[in-house]
Each structure stands twice: as C-alpha cells, then as structure tokens.
Amino acid sequence: MIDLILLAEGPKELDGGKLLAEEEGKPLYLHAFQAARQTADAMLGLRVIVVTRPGVLDEAIRAFGFNKVVVSGCRSLSEAIVAGTKAARSGASRCFLSCGRREVTGEQLTAFLQGYILSGRPLGSAGGGEGAMVFAPYLLPQLLALKGEEDGSQLFAGREGRTFSYDGSGREAADPEKAE
C-alpha cells in the first residue's frame, strides 16, 4: 500500500505563484497532478494526498479526486513533508513528489512505484533524489523528525543496498559502485 503525497506547499513551491504559472501551456502543478492521476488509475489502492495552503488548488484537487491536507503558513519543506506523512494511512509507504516537477510522467511514476514494490526494498529514489522518493512505513519516526529544509534524502545515506533507484527508463538504475 502506497500513499502518493504531492507537495504543493512550502517556500519554494508557492513563492511568487510558481505552481500556478503557465509552463508548456498549462500551470506547473498540473504536470504532477496528471502524472499522479494516471498512476492512481494504473495502481489499485494508491491514494493521492496534496499538501497545500488554505484555498489553494481546491478546485483542481476536487476535480482530480485527490485528498487535501492544509498547512497554514508553512515555513519549511519539512513542515509540508511532516503534514503529508501524518495524513497518510497507517501502514502505507509514503511517496513524495514536488508539484514543481514537470518532467515526471505518469508512465515513469507508475513504473517507479511498481519497481519499488517488486524490489521489496524499504526506500526508493527516482531521478537521483531529484524526483520522487518513497519510504517504508517503519521510517515514519524519521520522517516526522525532519526539520527545516530537510526532505528525507538524508535517510538514504548508508542504505544504498536497501534502496530501489529508478533512472526513469523503466528499469532500476545501475549501481555506480558495481559498474566500475
């Protein structure tokens, strides 16, 4: 069971209306919303949660059938991640994706999450830590302890062998240590 948490809140996401700005003919957030909807349609039981400010993206969240978590006056990335972590179902892995990531497609996100499930590993990283990140339920205390601009990527340190790394091509990324 996975809950996909779209981060549409945080200092970088909404400053200056970044997510609402048009890019490639549509608002930036719409790229992540469409990828999430396609992934949810392809994966039975996937739940999508959007972390945002009061009154922001309400219509789009309803239209896509997503769940909403409101964070008032979010001052850091970790606050948005903690809010999404708390809103996820008990026992669910938590996958985080910034709504500022227009290059992630539904096909890639679906392949990443399916690969993560099949790998049996507790961590997953798409795009070298610049894309989606997924955490097994037992990492909940570490996610809830994030502070400031921490995004959870530090939880991957020392756990390389326990991480499913996805390169966006439909397969697991090659381990650079084994390639040498």
Q: Which two tokens stand for residue 10?
A: 């945080």
Using a CB cutoff of 8 Å and minimum separation of 24, what contacts does 136-143 make?
A: 136/93, 137/90, 137/91, 137/92, 137/93, 137/94, 140/85, 140/94, 143/81, 143/82, 143/85, 143/94
Contacting residues for 64 by C-beta, under 8 A, at least 6 apart: 33, 36, 37, 48
Average pLDDT over residues 127-135: 81
127 pLDDT tier (thresholds 50, 70, 90)? confident
- For residue range 98-111, list pLDDT tens digits in order: 988 778 899 999 99
Average pLDDT over residues 154-167: 93
Three-state SS string over 8-77 comes to CCCHHHHHHHHHHCEECCEEHHHHHHHHHHHHHHHCCCCEEEEEECCCCCHHHHHHHCCEEEECCCCCCH
142 has a pLDDT exceeding 50: yes
173 has a pLDDT exceeding 80: no
75 has a pLDDT exceeding 60: yes
Share of the chain above pLDDT 70, in %: 87
179 pLDDT tier (thresholds 50, 70, 90)? very low
Using left for φ > 0, alpha for ψ between -120 and 50, and beta otherwise, residue 127 falls in: left
- For residue range 4-49, list pLDDT tens digits in order: 999 987 555 555 467 777 777 788 899 999 999 999 999 999 999 9
Mean pLDDT score of the chain, rounded to an integer? 87
180 pLDDT tier (thresholds 50, 70, 90)? very low
The answer to whether 84 and 11 are in contact (CB under 8 A) is no
